[in-house]
Structure formats: structure tokens, C-alpha cells
Structure 1
Amino acid sequence: MILKGKKTLVYGLGKSGIAAGALLEKAGSEVYLYDGNTQLDKEKLCQEIGGPCQVMLGDFPREIMKEIDLVVLSPGVPTDLPEIVEMKTANIDIIGEIELAYLCSKGEVLAITGTNGKTTTTALLGEIIKAYNENSFVVGNIGTPYTLVAEKTDENSTVVAEVSSFQLETIRTFHPRVSAILNITPDHLDRHHTMAAYIAAKVRITENQTEGDYCILNYEDEVTRKLGETLWAQVIYFSSKSVLAEGVYLKDQKIVLRYEDTEEVVCDLDDLQLLGVHNYENVMAAVAMALVYKVPLTIIRKVLGEFAGVAHRIEFVTEKNGIAYYNDSKGTNPDAAIKAVAAMVRPIVLIAGGYNKDADYREWIGSFNGKVKKMVLLGETKEDIARTAMSLGFHDYVLVDSFEEAVRTATELAGSGDAVLLSPACASWGMFKNFEERGDVFKKLVKTE
């Protein structure tokens, strides 16, 4: 795609939108910026872009549609907004920021999606690939926008990318050499509306792959297991429950590889610093991706032993008065929160609740199995969660009005030998900018009280 001279609108001015605008400016586009937030500083936005641009804030100026050639959507922008639908009807070219980055970058891409585990798997695979190829970049939802590093890549680069369903909605040519879909469970239904639409968005990670590429899939996830029968790419499964004829699996407290007629132990689970079966699945996915990318097992083993996990994902914070505090702020949906509860080895006082994504909390509460002794609920979902808990016979909950009160109450309810676990099963929006801020506030409160 030729970007030079094109009048390009960046819709949504978060971190990835700003990076997209800067990339477009360097590529010679005439850049227009739009965001509904009227509090943004127009002059500062142009400075961040690094060149002249027209900034529009507040209500969307529909007259601009007569001027623009291309629209780059930030991931948080729903594709069914009225003005986006109008643009499609008017045959205006619309892509997402990850597609823009791919068009402007070189080298090969290893891409990871899934409802849960993306960040841990991406971080781990990123460390493995860095140890194998110094000319590598770790990008996406994990913190660094792909558009921010696209110009730094060359033919020998490897990009490890965490990609969301929001980003995959707007790809066209995005083509990973190796892809992975870790799992698919209900999430973001407020955005995608149906599970079928959500699954279709996730599966798009594979749509440009060919027979020379690889896709790594979870054998124990019904959706991804069936998907493996339909792809052009070569499929490698990982499994936490089954011994596979080919793939990566758990056996006798070890991660085992069976590939190209050989079976070899990758590592003992005791060698890992990560907790829980879900994290063993993340490790197996990263191992499978690295192996098909021809990374030597010696490098993989070394990184596995050193990797301590990522912030906000069942992150040990501290222990005070015999109470262990864990930050799982990235547990933004019930399935992720189920995994956090399962990973705990102490009785739990659970802090939960937040922004409503139209989730169903029954399976999550049903998974407590006596491990959760008390639940502290806050946010706009607290009443919904409380009603669901009551209907399932779980009555040990407290409703609070603020995050500070939640942490204080959880500490009061916990005793020596217990764990206070922040695993909200809900998004952070409305109370915090993102799950990182929520987790950082939790850690600060825990350490200062």
C-alpha cells in the first residue's frame, strides 16, 4: 500500500493511535487525527506525531469523510460505530493499526492471540526469541505498539506480537510465520455481540497463512481443537491433559515434546517459576512456537528457567502478618479469574468486580470449590456478581464502594495463612485507565497499609 501523499485519518488517539500517526507522518501521509475526548491537547498531539497534522476532537466531523483516502482505526474503536459504517458504505479504505504496522515492517512475525494467557506467552516467547535473534521486537497489547517499531525492522528481524480480537477485526495482509490461538472463551461480548463473531475475529490470525506456516493450538479447547482441522497452516497442538502423537504436552510433572519422530523432555515443572496449569499451557504454547521456528532446545530451556512471569498476572506482591497478596489485575474476565483461583494454594479472600462486559459469572463462582472463603465486590458489576453468588449458594461476600475500601476490607477478613487475591473477572474501565493502573494501585495500597 502506498501511503505517501494519502490523506489518512487516525481514529482513536491512545498509545497505538499516536504511534500510528507518527508512522504515517514518516511515510509521507497527510495526517488527520480524531478522538472523542475534548480534553486532549491538540498542540501536544501534533508534537507527538512529529509533524503537521489536523486534530479534531469531540463529535465526529462527518464532512471529513469527503476528504480522506484512508482510515486507521485504533483497537478500542468498534467497527460498527455509525460513522465507521458510513465510511465503509462510502468505500473509504479502512485498516487497523496492526495492519498498518505490518505493511510498514520487514522480517517475520510470530503472533499470539487467545482469550487468556496472551501476555505471559508473548513475554516468554519474546525472551526466547531475543536469546536466539538479537534483532527482535516484542509488540502489541503487551505494551509497545507494533507501529512504534515497524520502521526499525529489517529483513532479518523477528517480531513477536500479542494481538487481540479488536486488532484482528481490521487486518488484510497481516501474515504471521507462526501463529497461536491459546484458548477461546466468552469475552468482549459487549463489543463483538455474539460468540460466533468473537471466534471469527480470533481465527483471522490464520487467514493469510499458507502451508509453509505454522499454527499452534490448544488441544483441550474444543473450539481450537476443531479449528485445527480446517487450516492451511501446519498445526501443532499443545495439551495439559492428553499425551499427543505430535506436539507438546504434560506428562509426569514434565513438559514433553514429541515432534518429527522424537520424544524429549523439555523441562520439569519444578524448573519453572510460574504457578498453575494455565501457565504451563502458556509455556507449552511458547515452546511449540519457538521449536517450529527452529530455536534450539538449549536456548529454550535456559529462558524457561529464568522467566519469572509478567506483572499483573498472578503476581506475588508481598506477605504481611502471614497473609500473601497476589495481583491478578489482568484477570479481566471470568475464565482468567477461574485460572487464578485454581493456582492458589491458600484459602482466598477474593477482590472482584468492575466494568460490565456482559459476562456470565456462574462458571467462575462455581469453580471456587471451597477455596474462596470471602469475596469483596466493587464496581458496577458488584450487584450482578452478588446475585449470581446467592443463586449458587455462595453467601460469603461483602459489597464496598471504593477500591481502597476493598483492599482494606480484604485485609481485615483475611487471616494468617490466607491469600488476598485481586482477580476481578471484570475490566477496569470506569474506575481506572486500564488493568495496569488497577494493579499498580493495588500493589501500592498493599505495601503502604
Structure 2
Amino acid sequence: MMDKHWFQGKHVLVLGLAKSGYHAALLLLKLGAHVTVNDAKDITHTEEARHLMQKNVDIVSGGHPRSLMERSWDYVVKNPGIPYHNPLVQEAQKQGIPVVTEIELASFVCKGEIVAITGTNGKTTTTTLIYHMLKEGNCHPHLAGNIGLVASDVAKNVKEDEVMVTEVSSFQLKGTQFFHPKTAILLNISDAHLDYHGTREDYEMSKAKIFQRMTAKDTIIYNADDPAVSRLVKDAKGKLLPFSLAKKINNGGYKENGAFYFQGKKVMEIEEVSLPGAHNEENMLAAICASLLHGASLSSIQQVLRTFQGVEHRLQYVGNVAGRKVYNDSKATNIESTEKALTAFSDPIVLIGGGLDRGVDFSPLIPSLAHVKAAVFYGETKEQLKATAVKANVPRVKTTETLEEAVKEAFSYSTKGDIVLLSPACASWDQFNTFEERGKTFIHAVQQLAGS
């Protein structure tokens, strides 16, 4: 098995800077590697690149020159967002150079146990819930993942008696060989990121790599209501701990008579929890199972579920503006996420959506648009989404060029008691660098309206 000492004196190419590349480079330096960072953008003037250059890291930016692969590399550490058809990645694979992702590095230096959470939807919410439950229970957790906390930066501070709770994506998992969590959680599987993976099979197999190094001493928490999930865990070697909203599961977590249970013991009444939406019940059940497994008390779990208001950009309650409840769900980058957001509310909804055009058919949204009184769409997909809303008989549908304009239109269509919801159903990359930037732009636009 590979360990951190394998990087001593090795020559490593880090593809893509961003947060993950920056922290991967710093960790590799700490492990004694010779590091070169390559980014398609000109990064030479960024604070991160300047810092790395001061540490004798070679920076090659403004493109991915093929000549880079004429050097002798021991490893390539790839930013998860860089596709596998990238010429440098393909050449590395052709040469037999190991291509790994930053989460792999994190696992080499993490001295404590890793709780890893994946799935198409709900990862961030579940990860954050587990962290707070363990923290409330004095279990010494560390939070990492696509929440702005890079795992390779967090992992080096995790002690042997501590836990790193980390969200992991299919992009990250696809590039792992030795990643070995103590507890793995698979929430759900649906069509997503097929532009990256190419096929549904590749997407599923990438998710399933979370189990590849697990043994009978490890635990797999999984959604027994999801057929794809149940199929993927069938051959995994960890102990299986299922959860279900549909049926009683004596050896796992389940919902019965309006309450959450774990292995026959009542946890709490669902009407006491603060998170809206039936889809969050799955996330909460998964978090309950993991937290109890890692030593949290029932009282600490109950306290978190009563007070947790959601994570930033995931059905985040922005506030009450002129009698309208405003929610930021910018992290809803696919249809299923938006479907779940729309079914989380019983009050009339004014929906704001749109973003990057990936050639997606939006017709699966139609049933969940039943309680939408008005919709405003912007960006590359505005016309496709408009056509979908018209088919769903949404009473008022409008398109705009920008998100800021969409916010103004949405408020003009709303009245007191309505929900104003940003849930784009699309990636942010047509007008924004990240879904976080999109969410912050939305909140700023709402705040400007509130102050006007």
C-alpha cells in the first residue's frame, strides 16, 4: 500500500491550481516532493502562485503544453474538475504515470478515522450535519470537502483519536486508488455529470470507488430506498448499515410514525427538526446513523436537528423580505436537486433558475412545478426552462439576461406569504465561476431590494 513516504524526492505535476491544487502542492512539499503546478489560466500574479514560487515550486500557466509530459514524472495530481480527456492526463495514463486526486493525498496523512460522504445530492448537508452532531457530542471532528475546506489541508491536523468528516465527489473518487474511509456513506444515485463521466456506468463506478479499500472492520451506510445504491453496495466488503424512509430496518436507521429510529430506538419526532423538505429526512437519517456509530449522544443529535438551519447555498434561508420567505439553493446544479427543493414547500413559489447549457432535457421538472405561481429564468438555459414551465402551466413565466434582473422580476411577481426560491437546476459556469459566487450574487441582489 502506498504511504506518504513514497512522495519523498518524487517529481509531481499538479494539474490545476484553485484551492485543491494549492493545498495539494503545499502538502506535497511537506512530504518532500519536487512540485510543478500547471494551470490553463495565467496564474502567475495570484497570491497562491506567488507563495508557491517562493517555496521553489515551478509554475507553468496559460495553457497545458504537451512538452510538459516530456519530463519524468512520478505522479500527476489532477484537479477534480479537469476532465480525463485532457491531453496531459491522457499522456500521463499512456506513460503509466499514476494520476490521482487531492483526496488521495489527504488520506495518506490523516492519522484519524475518515467518514466520507458521497451521492448525487445531499452530500454537503449530510456532511455538515454529521460534523455538528459529533462536535456537539465532543467527538473531536474535523470538517472537509467541497465546503471550502480542502481535505489535504485539513487532514494533516487530524490526530489519531479524531475524525475527519469529508464530502467526496465522483470527480475526486474516480482518481483514487488507495482512499480508505472508516465509514462510507452513499446517499443516492441519479443521472449527473454525464458530460464529465461520459456514461452512467462510469459515474456509478466512480462513486463505488469509495468502497474499494474497505474491509469487514469498516462500515457502509447506504440508502436502502435507492435501487442503484443497493446494487452498488452488494459486493462491497464493509459492514452494511442501511437507512430507509419507506420501511422499518431493524439493523439500521428508519422513519416510522413520524419519528426517526436507529436500530429500534427512537431518536426524535420529525416535527421537531428545523430543516425543511422530505429529501432532508434522508440526509438526517444518514447523519444520525454515522454520528451514533462514531460516539455522538442522542441528546447532541437532537440538539443539532432542532437548531440546524442548513448549509450555505443549499436551501439556505436568506430571510423574510416584505413578507416573502427567500431561499438560496444555488448548489442545486441539476434537475433532481431542484425537484427536491420545489417539493420542500407547501406555500406558493416564485422560482428563479437557469445557468450553463449542458443539453439537458428539463421535462422531468414538470411535475414538481405544480405549486410554482411564477418562474423567472436567466442565462444560457433560459429558453429551454421557459418552454418547460409553459408546458407545466406555470401561470407567469419570464426570461432575463442576468440573475440580478431575475431577482427583481421574481419579487415583482410575488406577494406576501410566497416563497422566492433560487434553485437553478443548472451549473453556474455560464456567468459565474462557482455556485458559491452565484449564491452570493443572489443574496446581494435580494439585500439591495430589501434596502430599497
Q: How do 1:231-310 residues align onto structure 2 when only pairs under 5 Å count?
A: 231-258=236-263, 263-310=264-311
Contact kept in structure 2, 1:189 and 1:358, CA below 8 Å: no
With normalisation by structure 2, the TM-score equals 0.94
In the superposition, relative to structure 1, how do residues 358 and 49 fare at CA in structure 2: closer, same or farther (>3 Å)? farther
Q: Alignment partner for residue 13 of structure 1, among 10, 17, 22? A: 17
Match of 1:353 in 2: 354
For residues 213-236 of structure 1, what are the alpha-carbon distances to aligned partners after superposition, in whole Å with 9 as ceiling and x for unaligned? 111111221111233332211111
Q: Residue type of the partner of 1:131?
A: E
One-letter amino acid of the counterpart of residue 351, structure 2: L
Question: How far off is 1:395 after superposition?
Answer: 6.6
Aligned partner of residue 199 in structure 1, secondary structure = helix
Name 2:38's counterpart in structure 1. Answer: 34
Q: What amino acid is aligned across from residue 130 of structure 2 in structure 1?
A: L
d(CA) in 1 for partners of 2:320 and 2:80?
A: 37
Distance between the aligned counterparts of 1:86 and 1:47, measured in 2? 29
Match of 1:322 in 2: 323
Could you say if the C-alpha distance between residues 87 and 149 of structure 1 is closer, same or farther in structure 2, counting changes exceeding 3 Å?
A: same
Structure 2 distance, partners of 1:442, 1:210, is 45
Relative to structure 1, the CA distance from residue 394 to residue 446 in structure 2 (aligned partners, 3 Å threshold; closer, same or farther) is closer
Q: In 2 relative to 1, CA 359–239 (structure 1 residues): closer, same or farther, beyond 3 Å?
A: farther
Indicate how the Cα distance of structure 1 residues 296 and 323 shifts in structure 2: closer, same or farther if over 3 A, else same. Answer: closer
Instruction: Verify: 1:195 aligned to 2:200, yes or no.
Output: yes
The CA deviation at 1:390 is 4.2
> 2:44, 2:59 within 8 Å by CA — same for their partners in 1?
no
Contact 1:107 1:158 survives alignment (8 Å): yes
* Conservation of the 8 A alpha-carbon contact between 2:356 and 2:428: yes
Q: Tell me the C-alpha RMSD between the 2 structures.
A: 1.8
Deviations, residues 357-386 of structure 1 (Å, cap 9, x unaligned): 3433121222222x0111111111112223
CA shift for structure 1 position 48 = 4.7
For 1:154, the equivalent position in structure 2 comes to: 159
**Contact 1:25–1:50 under 8 Å retained in 2:** no
Give per-residue Cα distances to partners, 1:1-35, cap 9 Å, x unaligned: 41111111110101111000111111111110110
Task: Say if 1:240 and 1:277, in contact at 8 Å, map to a contact too.
Answer: no
What SS does the corresponding residue of 1:367 show, helix, strand or coil?
helix
- Matched AA of 2:445: L
- C-alpha separation in 2, matches of 1:11 and 1:272: 43
Checking the alignment, whether the CA contact within 8 Å between 1:21 and 1:49 is kept in structure 2 is no
Structure 2 unmatched runs, 5+: none
Q: Which runs of 4+ in 1 moved over 4 A?
A: 390-395
3-state DSSP of counterpart to 1:330: coil
User: Within 2, Cα distance between the matches of 1:164 and 1:413?
Assistant: 37
Q: CA deviation at 1:184?
A: 0.8
Partner of 2:369: helix, strand, or coil?
A: coil
Q: Which one-letter code corresponds to 1:277 in the other structure? A: A
**1:160-184 deviation line (CA, Å, top 9, x unaligned):** 0100000001111111111111111
Q: Counterpart of 2:142 in 1: which secondary structure?
A: strand
Deviation of 1:39 after TM superposition, in Å, equals 5.0
Aligned to 2:57, which of 53, 57, 81?
53
**Secondary structure of the corresponding residue to residue 225 of structure 2:** coil
SS, match of residue 343 in structure 1: coil
What amino acid is the match of 2:94? Answer: T
Q: Distance in 2 between matches of 1:189 and 1:395?
A: 32
Change (3 A) 1:122 1:401: same
**Cα 1:176–1:43 shift into 2, 3 Å:** closer
Distance 2:192 2:44 in 1: 30
Identical aligned residues as a percent? 38
1:42-99 CA-to-partner distances (Å, cap 9, x unmatched) read 6751415761111001221222222322111111111222221111111112111000
Distance 1:293 1:359 in 2: 40
Provide the rounded CA distance (Å) in 2 between the counterparts of 1:368 and 1:430: 24
Residue 314 of structure 2 aligns to a residue whose secondary structure is coil
Equivalent residue for 2:336? 335
